[in-house]
Amino acid sequence: MNRDKAYTLYTTAEECNEVSQNIMKVLRFGLDTVYPTNGKESNRDKLEEEMGQLMFCLNHLIDDLELSEDNIMEAYNQKANTWLKWKAYYVN
């Protein structure tokens, strides 16, 4: 694998982890809690920032690895179809 593709994979994995970390902070401290370090940025702000960066990386991952957008959308639609089914186990 060339270094360009490897960089895309590394960066995407890192952004996935950062989104996960921010989701955990939202669950632990709340969506609108402000970071004590700067007093300006909320968990919502940080999650939005990290999600935007992840979306950028995911788009590059599709292009750089020549992934099938049809297969990705099929999986997306399958998840959409099972979302409410599995959500019911959590909510109830």
What confidence score (pLDDT) does residue 25 get?
Answer: 95
Number of other residues whose CB lies within 10 A of the CB of residue 60: 17
Cα gap 57→11, rounded to integer Å: 7
36, pLDDT greater than 90? no
Residues 6 or more apart in contact with residue 46 via CB below 8 angstroms: 22, 25, 35
What confidence score (pLDDT) does residue 84 get?
Answer: 84
Compute the mean pLDDT over every residue in the chain, rounded to the nearest whole number: 93
* Residue 19: both structure tokens together: 């989104």
Cα gap 91→66, rounded to integer Å: 38
With cut-offs at 50, 70 and 90, classify the pLDDT of residue 78: very high
What confidence score (pLDDT) does residue 92 get?
Answer: 63
Percent of the chain topping pLDDT 90: 82
How many residues are listed for the chain in this entry?
92
Average pLDDT over residues 58-87: 95
Cα gap 10→66, rounded to integer Å: 16
